[in-house]
Structure 1
Amino acid sequence: MTDPLPKLPADPRPPTSTEPALARHVRSAQTIMDILFGPPAIRAFSVRYPDGTLERAGAPVPLFTLALKRAGSLSRMFWPPSERNVGEAYLRDDYDIEGDLEAAAGLADLLIDRFSSPQTLLQLALVMRTLPRNDHTADEQSLTPEHAGAETAAPTRLDGGHTTSGPAHSKERDAEVIRYHYDVGNDFYALWLDDRMVYSCAYFPEGTEDLDAAQEAKLEHICRKLRLQPGEHLLDIGCGWGGLILYAAQRYGVRATGVTLSEAQADLARERIRAAGLEDRVRVEVRDYRDLGLREGEARYDKIVSVGMFEHVGRANLQAYVQQVYRLLQPGGLFLNHGIVVVEAAVSPGAVEQLARLVFPQKTFMHQYVFPDGELVYTHEVLAHAERLGFETRDIESLREHYAMTLRHWVKRLEDHHAEAVASVGETGYRVWRFYMGGCAWAFSTGRIGLSQMLFSKPGGRSSLPLSRADLYRPPASKAENR
């Protein structure tokens, strides 16, 4: 029988006087892996320890290799237990995932089960004490300032810089946290997004589309749901790099206005609008959605869309968000809200997890490093606010599996452009995006989080909706036919 894995070389670092200590630490790490994941024979992944020792998976083809870089890697990954510690250990290069990051994220279920056992926690605590807690260099230790874990602290960049510390979801702070995430560089996003740079869930009607085709299919799907007509005025709240408004103007002949809080996104969107010769019909503004309609002479919009933006609104501001859309929309108009939602069964913590949150309070990895102040809500909360204000719910569609597929494309493209990504945002920045997108792919594929497209109509005018949904799935029309 052929050996399923090639022999891997030992760690290239020369032996030192600490070699006996390292051997002891490796034995402790092996014990921890057995406690958490069982013996190697039943694991679906391989483990390589910092002395070069390789424990092969029991599976014929391992899903990935967990490469532990330092003697104390496991103590920082898993003690105290939290997803943020696992993420920060990855950012500090305590370990690497060689292979399928989404499969590695799937170990979370097993870890939650293990950490829910007081007996297991006691076993781990005893073994963890034998590992060094700090075998990093001074540079590796300073991932974030000391205050970064406090719930009241401002969102913190990996380089130690930080944004304003104003109240969460104030206009000033929202502008800062959006720029924190989106202004890392258009060139970086262009490495792994599609040609239109659409940074939201794609749509795979056949399941075999490449990323560019799937994102175009998503834009078409949205335009059809909104039943866009030539001459209508479309508002895109959180327009990103302008992919949707350009598509809607070119294919459906609408006038389109997009708003974003990111100067970098707006600059590129305007370049693309000029290149397409659509400056007379399409514009992008750097503006908070809450300020729309406050200028004299601004008319209401025929259709409004929000794609991947309302995750930044916050539960406390959800009613005001829907109310603002209602105010901006013409009677009889349609509003499509496309965004990530939380699944109730996936967020109900057990007793041990609730205790852990009290004992080890900290921001999540996503809040600290990816989406400061981001907050997911339930689909039924959006529906309740919308209907209470007068909207009529006309269509709800889950695209959960589509987002898992989208993220897999993004992760693969990011990994394929590792060197260019590191040149753009540094190795730590590359690891932030790889870790968060791989974990999200697992969360969507397993139903921890979902993606809901919700279509609402505003009473008071003639509905533009047909009696069936057949028009959503007709063969694609040419540009000339649409216009």
Structure 2
Amino acid sequence: MMEPKLVSENIALLNLIFKNLSPAYFKVRFWTGEEWAPPGLKEPKVTIVIKNPGILAHLLAFPTDVRLGEAYIYDDLDFEGDIYSVFPLGEYLRQLYPRLLTNPFFWRSLFKLRMSVRRARRLEGRQAAKLKGKTHSIERDKQAISYHYDLPPEFYATYLDPMMVYSCAYFRSPDQDLATAQKNKLELVCRKLRLKPGERVLDIGCGWGGFVIYAAKKYRVKILGITLSENQVKYANEWIKREGLEDLAEVRLLDYRQLDEKEPFDKLVSIGMFEHVGSSKLWTYFRKAWKLLKPGGVFLNHGIAADWSWRIKRWSFTDRYVFPDGELLPIYKTLTVAERVGFEIRDVESLREHYVLTLRHWVKNLEKNYEKARQFVDEPTYRVWRLYMAGSAYAFSINEQSVFQSLLVKNRERGENDLPLTREDIYLNWDIME
């Protein structure tokens, strides 16, 4: 099929699908340089660049997020401008697709164009995760964590704040900068835990050590961080040494299930690790936390929540290229298991809107630091991160996903604990470590 014919077939397909889109906010540029826009377009928010003549038909024949993601990360198509504007098109297509399935013209167009798919040179780089072993075994979880977190720390530094916090920030006003908002979050967690000097604290899934450093430096607690990422352990312990905190802080390469229970902790915290636990290990996770905690102690569990039970992993871009074996669970399921283990639920706070702001900061930083990021990772990896973080921001903005901080207490006999009657102390005399 000649180039003009290929372009006209793509245009006919776009006209069929988007003729009723209102308001129009995107345009398409083809590999030839020709452009198409929906009726009524004034100013496009994003331009979708089609580089492979048959990719549109390939995506529409079986529209899954893994197909779209692979088309983008391997450069069959590209997005110029506001990447967030791409995601509402997915909703539009999901609503329209049942009608397209019964349209003969739609299928004839797809057949013609799919015959012209040319597998142009694909970008070299990141491939889908290939994990071995039983799901959520310690060894397989280590593979999953390594797949996402064992890239060079310098890459993460291109979009994270100076404390290298890879979880939702806490914005006391919408215009706060990311660094301040992340210190706000660290301070908020310390205050919810009511940390006191000399207490023994465990950070489950400590990342590069941001909370470990903050809590040890400001609150003078003795804190142990654990992670399954070798790069994070190395980075965190070097940071601890630079800060002169070796007598208070340590990070180990360790799964929470392997931790000795002989000397329990005063406080536990898990910030942004819970997504890796899995529904089959919920009881194991909370029961282990219960055993690791002293009577009267508190556990702050910070994690993303959603109902992903309907998702099929082989069609999921996130599972294949971002967080293999990651699971998002509805908050009621999490808290139900925590209660059955024996914890009392004392406080639950949603930070959903805060994660929208956080992710938008990360995407902006990543795009701004493109050249620097490419010094440490290949082009497909950069694209994976740009796409997944922008898509996550959109999911949080429409309440498809949320994030909660749950404060759990292991009461002493007869329900006794040391928590105050109100939450007022958390917000009084607010100050963060400079």
What range is the shorter-chain TM-score in? Answer: over 0.9
Secondary structure at the counterpart of residue 399 of structure 2: coil
Choose from 129, 148, 164 the match for 2:111.
Answer: 129
Post-superposition CA distance 1:457-478 (Å, at most 9, x none): 0011752321111122223247
CA pair 49-39 structure 1, distance change in 2 beyond 3 A? farther
Task: Say whether 1:165 aligns with 2:117.
Answer: no
Aligned: 1:258 with 2:225: yes
Name 2:390's counterpart in structure 1: 438
Q: Contact 1:81–1:115 (CA<8 Å) still a contact in 2?
A: no
Equivalent position SS for 2:376 = helix
Count of matched residue pairs: 430
How many Å apart are 1:59 and its aligned residue? 4.2
Q: Which amino acid aligns with 1:418?
A: Y
Alpha carbons of structure 1 residues 67 and 415: separation in structure 2 relative to 1, 3 Å = same
Q: Which amino acid aligns with 2:9?
A: S
Deviation at 1:28, TM superposition (A): 1.5
Give the secondary structure class of the aligned counterpart of 1:424: coil
**SS across alignment from 1:30:** helix
| TM-superposed deviation, 1:243 | 0.2
1:121-200 equivalent positions in 2, closer than 5 A: 122-131=104-113, 132-137=115-120, 139-140=121-122, 158-159=126-127, 163-200=130-167
Name the SS for the 1:362 alignment partner.
helix
State how far apart, in whole Å, the 1-side matches of 2:44 and 2:256 are: 48
The DSSP-based 3-state class of the residue aligned with 2:112 is coil
Match of 1:405 in 2: 357
Question: Any conservation in 1 of the 2:395–2:401 contact (CA below 8 Å)?
Answer: yes
Determine what percentage of the aligned residue pairs are the same residue: 42
**Aligned runs of 1:45-124 on 2, under 5 Å?**
45-56=26-37, 58-117=40-99, 119=101, 122-124=104-106
* Partner SS state of residue 375, structure 1: coil
2:25–2:44 Cα contact (<8 Å) kept: yes
Match of residue 278 from structure 1 = 245
Preserved contact between residue 197 and residue 221 of structure 2 (Cα < 8 Å): yes
For residues 112 and 478 of structure 1, the distance between their equivalents in structure 2, rounded to whole angstroms, comes to: 45
What residue number does 2:197 align with? Answer: 230
Which residue number corresponds to residue 9 of structure 1? none
Write the distance in 1 (CA, Å) between the matches of 2:251 and 2:180.
25
Match of 1:146 in 2: none
- Work out whether 1:36 is the aligned partner of 2:36: no
- Residue 205 of structure 1 is matched in structure 2 by 172
Q: Find the counterpart in structure 2 of residue 313 from structure 1.
A: 277
Matched residues in 2 for 1:263 and 1:464: separation? 37
Shift of 1:42: 4.5
Out of 378, 381, 384, the residue aligned to residue 426 of structure 1 is 378
Q: Deviations over 1:201-244 (max 9, x none)?
A: 11112111111011101101111111111111110000000000
Say whether the 8 Å CA contact 1:408–1:438 is kept in structure 2.
Answer: yes
Residue 134 of structure 1 and its aligned partner are, at CA, apart by 3.0
- How far apart are 1:159 and its partner, in Å? 4.5
User: 1:104/1:422 Cα in 2 relative to 1: closer, same or farther (>3 Å)?
Assistant: same
Contact 1:40 1:46 in 2 (8 A): no
Q: Which of 390, 399, 402 lines up with 2:342 in the alignment?
A: 390
| Structure 2 CA distance for partners of 1:47 and 1:318, relative to 1, 3 Å | same
TM-score, with length taken from structure 2: 0.94
Output the CA distance in 2 between the equivalents of 1:400 and 1:73.
Answer: 34
1:116 match: secondary structure: helix
Give me the whole-angstrom Cα distance separating, in 2, the residues matched to 1:43 and 1:320: 50
In 2, Cα distance between the equivalents of 1:479 and 1:213?
10
Retained in 2: the 8 A contact 1:115–1:121?
no
Change in Cα spacing, 1:414 to 1:122, as seen in structure 2 (3 Å) is farther
Task: State the partner residue of 1:268.
Answer: 235
SS in 1 for 2:348: strand
Task: Report deviation, 1:130.
Answer: 1.4
Corresponding position of 1:8: none
| Distance in 2, Cα, partners of 1:448 & 1:60 | 30
| Stretch moving more, 463-472 or 327-336 | 463-472
User: Does the residue aligned with 2:223 lie in a helix, a strand or coil?
Assistant: strand
Query: Which whole-Å CA distance do the structure 1 matches of 2:103 and 2:167 have between them?
Result: 39
Asked if the contact 1:40/1:56 (under 8 Å) is kept, the reply is: no
Matched, 1:300 2:300: no
Contact 2:184 2:432 in 1 (8 A): no
CA deviation string 1:27-78 (max 9, x = no partner) = 1211222233226884211211222112346343321111111211212332
Whole-angstrom CA distance in 2 between matches of 1:393 and 1:133: 58
- Look up the SS of the partner of 2:359 in the other structure: helix
Aligned to 1:11: none
Deviation at 1:121, TM superposition (A): 6.0
Q: For residues 396 and 316 of structure 1, what CA distance do their matches in structure 2 show? A: 23
Q: Is the CA contact 1:311–1:340 (under 8 Å) kept in the aligned structure 2? A: yes
Q: Is the 8 A contact 1:252 1:479 kept in 2?
A: no
Deviations 1:72-108 (CA, angstroms, capped at 9, x unpaired): 1212332212111111111121111111111211222
Over 3 Å counting, the alpha-carbon distance change for 1:282 and 1:74 in structure 2 is: same
Change (3 A) 1:231 1:479: farther
Provide the rounded CA distance (Å) in 1 between the counterparts of 2:42 and 2:419.
Answer: 54
What amino acid does structure 1 have at the position aligned with 2:83?
L
Unaligned stretches of 5+ in structure 1?
1-17, 144-156
Q: Deviations over 1:413-456 (max 9, x none)?
A: 11111122223111111111111111111001001111011110
Aligned to 1:371: 323
CA contact (8 A) 2:156 2:164 kept: yes
Secondary structure in structure 1 of the residue aligned to 2:158: helix
Q: 1:339 aligns with which of 297, 303, 307?
A: 303
Q: Assess if the C-alpha contact under 8 Å between 1:178 and 1:261 holds in 2.
A: yes
For the aligned residues, what is the CA RMSD? 2.2
1:349-396 alpha-carbon deviations (Å, 9 max, x no partner) = 6xxxx9xx7xxx834101100011111111011111111111000000
Contact 1:41/1:59 (CA < 8 Å) preserved in 2?
no
Preserved contact between residue 37 and residue 110 of structure 1 (Cα < 8 Å): no
Distance in structure 2 (CA, Å) of the matches to 1:133 and 1:325: 56
Deviation, structure 1 residue 136: 1.9
